Structure 1
Amino acid sequence: MTGAAPSPTRSRRPASVASLLADVRDVGRDPRRGGYSRFAYAPAELELRTWFEAEAARRSLDVVTDRNGILWAWRPGPGGSLDDAVVTGSHLDSVPGGGEFDGPLGVASAFAALDLLDARDVGGERPLAIVAFPEEEGGRFGRACLGSQLMTGEQDPDRVLGLLDADGTSLADALTGAGLDPVHLGRDEEALRRIGVFVELHVEQGRGLVDLDQPVAVASSILGHGRWRLTVTGEGNHAGATLMADRRDPMVAAAQVVVAVRDLASSRPDARATVGRLQPVPGGTNVIASRVDLWLDVRHPDDDVTRALVAQVLESAHAVCAAEGCAVELVEESYSGQVRFDAGLRDRLRGVLPDAPVLATGAGHDAGVLAAHVPSAMLFTRNPTGVSHSPEEHVDDADAEAGAAALADVLQDLLVPREPR
């Protein structure tokens, strides 16, 4: 990509966040779960990627899909430079039956913010890029922030290419079906070198802004969190022919483990632990399962507490399973320690947005992955329900536009580098 930054397209009126999201409101609706199921490299997410490319083209941005499936829309800097870029964006995928705003709000707000910059005649001395990371939620292959973790080298491609979705499709096959070559997955030094700063806008996943009566916040940190798989094994058998006293039922043990997770987490202040997915094998109505897999999500501001809580869960699971004649194993699938966003960048955002409160979040984000490699920050837009990962997630139109305006103000400040002190 060469050439100077394109001139603002003043003949095109700035798009609102609401209008951008309205264009994709029907993409990926889930009639069974409610809400949206937009899984990485599946039809709905691919349709959203096409929407991203079309919106980038309307703004004369250069679109590239990189080796890890990450979408970039570039406005080059002087002389066509892509180095030291100001990058913003989020993701397009969702959890199963998720809300409308988790991910796409950040991408739509980025396009709307760029329109505001064009209307203000803001060019800047740095390149600007809008990005969409794949598989942020882990809704298809079970690895959250997979695109950003591959780019930063925090995930080993050889360990994830064989991951299977619910239909038995591997990540490698899904990538191939989307026109990507799995051979090229992995740490991308060139992409990381180009990011001078990353700012992600996201719907708030909690009630912080509701309680403070503010539309926009600056993030301070992300709780340490991880995902583990507990596998409980017993003896599969006939539901009608097996006496209750003769059973080694892993489903009964698994149910007790779920309750133990709730009780153990409740005993530790600020801890959050969830079993959001449980899968019996073989899964027949008239069959005693031979195995049950449970996926455990644990979060706490102190990484040592998170680890200790998982150890307690495993100890309790061993006791429960022994009493039921079953066995249990635990495998860590992912872990991210507590993230504190770059203090200098956070304070710079606070200087641009003096009325915005500073909030921590218990939700993971691509910005949290990038924070260990490049200066990163986040903005949150108010969610009046306080509910996320659910169809009840919401953002009022006025707050969506306030979020885009705040993002535009931040980007404008970052596009012209400050003189060193």
Structure 2
Amino acid sequence: MWRELAPLGRDAGSGGYRRHAWTAADAECRAWFREQVEARGLGYEVDRNGNQWAWLGDPLGPDAVVTGSHLDSVPDGGAFDGPLGVVSSFAALDELRARGARFTRPLAIANFGDEEGARFGLACVGSRLAAGQLTVDQAHRLRDAAGVTLPQAMAAAGYDPDAIGPDPERLARIGAFVELHVEQGRALDLTGDPVGIASAIWPHGRWRYDFRGEANHAGTTRLADRRDPMLTYAETVLAARREAELTGALATFGKVAVEPNGVNAIPSLVRGWLDSRAADQATLDAVVSGIERAAREHAERAGIDLDVVRESFTPVVDFQHALRDELRAILTGRARGGAADTGRAVPVLGTGAGHDAGILSASVPTAMLFVRNPTGISHSPAEHAAEDDCAAGVTALADVLEGLACR
């Protein structure tokens, strides 16, 4: 499975992946998912929001156990972020069938669409729509860098954009959702554990900063006569780093757009996107407020107009303790049935990365498993997980699914 999926959407120059929503690369990944479904004789469907589902058992039955992740990527992303969870889900099902497991609850594998938000700037579009956390009007207003709207992109890919919206009946039939993901940090590498369990997802959001100055000639305009928004943007980037260091949070300006974007032109507009995350809401509020305050002070001194728009926000997600504890019991050998304690410690760790599991947690009991990432690098072609650790993740996921769906 991994070898078949690996070439899809990979850029020959960077070695990274460009599997953006509703593109040709995305279509190839979706076709791969359907092939895996059909090869296993599972039921297949695409919901109203473009999320793909593979079903073992009755899709209309109650208390289903669902696993899966996403197949899209950030620009020049790594191979593991998302796809590891989908591949591991199919592999875990294969393992359970080899064990002769008898399922007492419906089991599903999901591929949620546009998790990374690389094309339209909003993460977890598929799961947000399903959970009612993104309205139809808001979704229809999403545009990519070329001005293509989400409805136009969906229609071009053969999907019905008028059908999107909340899916409460589907979510009500889900008893548990477990997402396996490569760790996007080094906590497991530092403890020496191949697999861990998520405790919580930090609150996080994205803010767009529009710095407006005056376009002019770079070769003839005196420095004293310039209203250059690039300088104010640069000061704000530095302020973000200072505020993050002071508060123990994270703050990153990772995307920028410039107009008119000429080598010999002073910009009229610099648009930068801030991503900020923290362990708690108060800390996040403090760092974001500090960055905006510094930006406005620099803008006022330089005669630059500034608009700040919050484009997305996800509050802290504290995964349901009962399900989290059940996963830990299963993985340490203390699951129902009285199995002896294996003595294996399973670390529980928080994360600053957002996931579909975090979005769904408001509607469905959710949990996450992490697979060790030896370098901690993610959202980069250097993202990696060793084959042995990936296999350990499959085994752990199979154990969890067996414990939940084969009672």
Q: TM-score, normalised by structure 1?
A: 0.92
Amino acid paired to 1:376: T
C-alpha deviation, 1:207, in angstroms: 0.3
> Does the alignment pair 1:118 with 2:97?
yes
Which of 393, 402, 406 pairs up with 1:403? 393
Partner of 1:361: 351
Partner of 2:31: 50
C-alpha deviation, 1:81, in angstroms: 4.6
> Does the alignment pair 1:214 with 2:193?
yes
- 2:96 and 2:65 map into 1 onto residues whose CA distance is 13
- 1:53 and 1:364 map into 2 onto residues whose CA distance is 26
CA RMSD, Structure 1 to Structure 2 (Å): 1.1
> Does the alignment pair 1:155 with 2:134?
yes
After TM superposition, the structure 1 = structure 2 runs for residues 94-133 of structure 1, keeping only pairs within 5 Å, are: 94-133=73-112
Amino acid paired to 2:34: E
C-alpha deviation, 1:34, in angstroms: 3.5
- 1:284 and 1:172 map into 2 onto residues whose CA distance is 32
Which of 149, 152, 173 pairs up with 2:152? 173
- 2:60 and 2:167 map into 1 onto residues whose CA distance is 18
- 2:158 and 2:62 map into 1 onto residues whose CA distance is 27
Conserved? CA contact 2:60–2:173, under 8 Å: no
- 1:193 and 1:51 map into 2 onto residues whose CA distance is 28
> Does the alignment pair 1:189 with 2:179?
no
- 2:234 and 2:174 map into 1 onto residues whose CA distance is 46
C-alpha deviation, 1:416, in angstroms: 3.1
- 1:32 and 1:277 map into 2 onto residues whose CA distance is 20
C-alpha deviation, 1:32, in angstroms: 4.4
- 1:29 and 1:403 map into 2 onto residues whose CA distance is 24
- 1:254 and 1:33 map into 2 onto residues whose CA distance is 27
Partner of 1:323: 301
Which of 365, 368, 371 pairs up with 1:381? 371
> Does the alignment pair 1:293 with 2:274?
no
Amino acid paired to 2:403: D
Conserved? CA contact 2:247–2:286, under 8 Å: no
Partner of 2:292: 314
- 1:31 and 1:24 map into 2 onto residues whose CA distance is 15
Conserved? CA contact 1:233–1:250, under 8 Å: yes
> Does the alignment pair 1:245 with 2:235?
no
After TM superposition, the structure 1 = structure 2 runs for residues 62-101 of structure 1, keeping only pairs within 5 Å, are: 62-77=43-58, 81-101=60-80
Q: Deviations 1:139-194 (Å, cap 9, x if unpaired)?
A: 11110111100100001121121222122221111111122111111111222122
Partner of 1:415: 405
Amino acid paired to 2:358: G
- 1:54 and 1:82 map into 2 onto residues whose CA distance is 24
Amino acid paired to 1:245: A
Amino acid paired to 1:56: V
- 2:135 and 2:264 map into 1 onto residues whose CA distance is 40
- 2:79 and 2:216 map into 1 onto residues whose CA distance is 42
- 2:260 and 2:386 map into 1 onto residues whose CA distance is 44
Unpaired segments of 5 or more residues in structure 1?
1-19
Conserved? CA contact 2:199–2:324, under 8 Å: yes
- 1:332 and 1:31 map into 2 onto residues whose CA distance is 35
Partner of 2:123: 144
SS of the equivalent of 1:123 reads coil
Give the % identical residues. Answer: 50
C-alpha deviation, 1:82, in angstroms: 3.0
Q: TM-score, normalised by structure 2?
A: 0.95
- 1:42 and 1:414 map into 2 onto residues whose CA distance is 36
Which of 333, 336, 341 pairs up with 2:311? 333
C-alpha deviation, 1:67, in angstroms: 0.5
Amino acid paired to 1:182: P
> Does the alignment pair 1:263 with 2:253?
no
> Does the alignment pair 1:23 with 2:4?
yes
> Does the alignment pair 1:282 with 2:260?
yes
Number of aligned pairs? Answer: 395
- 2:162 and 2:247 map into 1 onto residues whose CA distance is 44
Which of 110, 114, 131 pairs up with 1:135? 114
- 1:282 and 1:61 map into 2 onto residues whose CA distance is 52
Q: Deviations 1:7-27 (Å, cap 9, x if unpaired)?
A: xxxxxxxxxxxxx11111111
Worse overlay, 221-230 or 306-315? 306-315
Conserved? CA contact 1:33–1:96, under 8 Å: no
- 2:233 and 2:224 map into 1 onto residues whose CA distance is 18
Q: Deviations 1:27-69 (Å, cap 9, x if unpaired)?
A: 1112444411110111111101100000010111111111001
Conserved? CA contact 2:101–2:406, under 8 Å: no
SS of the equivalent of 2:5 reads coil
- 2:347 and 2:131 map into 1 onto residues whose CA distance is 30
Amino acid paired to 2:364: V
- 2:113 and 2:149 map into 1 onto residues whose CA distance is 15
Partner of 1:60: 41
SS of the equivalent of 1:197 reads strand
SS of the equivalent of 1:267 reads helix
